[in-house]
Structure 1
């Protein structure tokens, strides 16, 4: 049996959160761009970003902390709404933990403020996915009469 998000409410939540996650990427990109704006080559080398500079100059390139590029294969989808919502819940907790770790790595109060905002949005997303999971499970338990 093929599953998708079975209700308009569930689809709406996924659309809302997905849209906001794209905005998070834009916020992070702007933050990195601003942090690198006007930085000398010597400072880039001292921050161990010489290899990034060699390939991309000061341009953004989506990689994790180890330099592994982001690929669509990171998006997990089984087609089962309950399994996929559990995956989304886990992803939000992982994102929250990464923002927390990043907050500990910086002493810049403005950067910390941005990271705290993003961390709190991940908490809200987690809550909304949890609510949606309960909604979907209830919907799936209901007897369907056509």
Structure 2
């Protein structure tokens, strides 16, 4: 969704506007196409996905990722005065909050159940 928002915000920009916004190198390589990278220009990689194989450790990692995403959406909301963009970002922020809550509930279930013997 973020990539689509960025595309919509930049698709009609002129080369001069893109250069003024610091997007000249991206335009020179990709025209108006998006390239997934962080704010420092580091390309996205699957190495960003963390998994330990332990359910509790993995859920805590998921909670941290959701909270980081929530904070990022809040910073983006604070950076724009475009109400439509803010509404979309608020939806995404709230979704991260709900995800974090569900992961926290899952952690509690695992903690409550880990000492019980299961017979199936």
> If the length of structure 2 is used for normalisation, what is the TM-score?
0.94
Give secondary structure in 1 for the equivalent of 2:34: coil
Partner of 1:70: 44
Partner of 2:20: 46
* Partner Cα distance (1:108, 1:56) in 2: 26
Map 1:70-109 to 2 at 5 A: 70-109=44-83
| Deviation sequence 1:68-98 (CA, Å, 0-9, x none) | 1110001000000000000011111100000
Give secondary structure in 1 for the equivalent of 2:114: helix
* Partner Cα distance (1:105, 1:53) in 2: 23
Instruction: Show structure 2 runs of 5+ residues with no match.
Output: none
Q: CA deviation at 1:139?
A: 2.5
Aligned residues: 120
> If the length of structure 1 is used for normalisation, what is the TM-score?
0.78
Q: Which has the higher contact order (CA 8 A, sep 6+)?
A: 1
Instruction: Show structure 1 runs of 5+ residues with no match.
Output: 1-26
| Deviation sequence 1:108-131 (CA, Å, 0-9, x none) | 111111111100100000001011
* Partner Cα distance (2:104, 2:89) in 1: 23
RMSD of Structure 2 on Structure 1 (CA): 1.2
